[in-house]
């Protein structure tokens, strides 16, 4: 039983007030987010367009909370390094998009960031276990990437259980992270399956008080 990490996704925040929205989850105690999850989308890897490096550089100046950048983009081999060099804490790329994910992880770590690998709901974990030896975080998608507010896909919990087993038996050393449809109703089953870090967008920023929502999710994820 260890402390769950909560990573609110600013995809569901008001993009005209991003600084204030981050400050709303930067209070003290259990209401304080552990990581801020930043969804970078390029309109090619996913059918949606959000923000990129210039915005991330500004966010880095506005908060001390580590930024967890989730790159839903094509050609991450080319673009991911910029986020690491800018000072993002963790930079996650999609295994479906990366040409050389092992080299990419090495480059991210050399630039001072944690290296994250994400897998879409339909992507098997088994094919990528060797690759994951080079990574620090595994982001299991529990919705199709692209939009907030979708329903949790419980089938992906099998991949979480497999990842948890590989970590607990010492075969991998990873923070197991889940992203998509996490709310007060779904977070317990994810925690039960072995998730370490919970991304939540609409459940945090759709709430009256985002800080309270973080504390409530943390409470329910405690295992
Ligand atoms: C979706 C993004 C998620 C999104 C989750 O592609 O990767 O981070 O913000 O939103 P919710 O928590 O509303 O499913
Ligand atoms: Zn995300």
Which residue in the list 34, 42, 68, 179 is annotated as catalytic? 179
Residue whose CA lies nearest to ligand 1 atom number 10: 148
Mean of all residue pLDDT scores within the chain? 98
Give the CATH number, domain containing residue 45: 3.20.20.70
Dump pLDDT digits (tens) for 89-141. 999 999 999 999 999 999 999 999 999 999 999 999 999 999 999 999 999 99
Catalytic residue list contains 39: yes
Residue 181, annotated as binding a ligand: yes
Other CB atoms within a 10 A radius of the CB of residue 75 amount to 15
Q: Model confidence over 143-180: pLDDT tens digits?
A: 999 999 999 999 999 999 999 999 999 999 999 999 99
Q: Which domain holds residue 147?
A: 5-221
* 112 marked ligand binding residue: no
Say whether the ipTM exceeds 0.85: yes
pLDDT band at 68 (very low <50, low <70, confident <90, very high): very high
pLDDT band at 57 (very low <50, low <70, confident <90, very high): very high
Q: Find all residues with CB under 8 Å of 208, minimum gap 6, and list them.
A: none
pLDDT at 70: 99
Say what the pTM is.
0.98
- pLDDT class of 223 with cuts at 50, 70, 90: low
Ligand 2 centroid to Cα of residue 66, in Å, is 15
Q: How far is CA 92 from CA 70, 89, 109, 115, 140, in A?
A: 5, 10, 12, 6, 11
Per-residue pLDDT of 178-220, as tens digits, reads 999 999 999 999 999 999 999 999 999 999 999 999 999 999 9
| The pLDDT of residue 1 is above 80 | no
Q: Which atom of ligand 1 is nearest to the CA of 144?
A: 6
Distance 120 CA to ligand 1 centre (A): 12
Number of domains the chain contains: 1
């Amino acid at each position: 039983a260890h402390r769950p990490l909560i990573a609110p996704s600013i995809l569901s925040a008001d993009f005209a007030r991003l600084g204030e929205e981050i400050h709303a989850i930067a209070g003290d105690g259990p209401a304080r987010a552990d990581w801020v999850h930043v969804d970078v989308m390029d309109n090619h890897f996913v059918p949606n367009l959000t923000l990129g490096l210039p915005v991330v550089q500004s966010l880095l100046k506005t908060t001390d909370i580590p930024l967890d950048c989730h790159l839903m983009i094509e050609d991450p081999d080319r673009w991911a390094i910029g986020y690491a060099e800018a000072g993002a804490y963790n930079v996650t790329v999609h295994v479906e998009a990366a040409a050389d994910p092992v080299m990419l992880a090495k480059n991210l770590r050399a630039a001072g960031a944690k290296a994250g690998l994400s897998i879409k709901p339909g992507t098997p974990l088994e094919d990528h276990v060797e690759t994951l030896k080079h990574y620090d975080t595994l982001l299991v998608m529990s919705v199709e990437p692209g939009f907030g507010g979708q329903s949790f896909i419980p089938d992906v919990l099998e991949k979480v259980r497999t990842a948890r087993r590989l970590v607990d038996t010492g075969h991998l050393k990873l923070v197991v992270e889940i992203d998509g449809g996490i709310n007060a109703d779904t977070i317990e089953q994810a925690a039960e399956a072995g998730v370490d870090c919970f991304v939540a967008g609409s459940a945090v920023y759709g709430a009256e008080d985002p800080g309270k929502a973080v504390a409530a999710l943390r409470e329910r994820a405690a295992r």
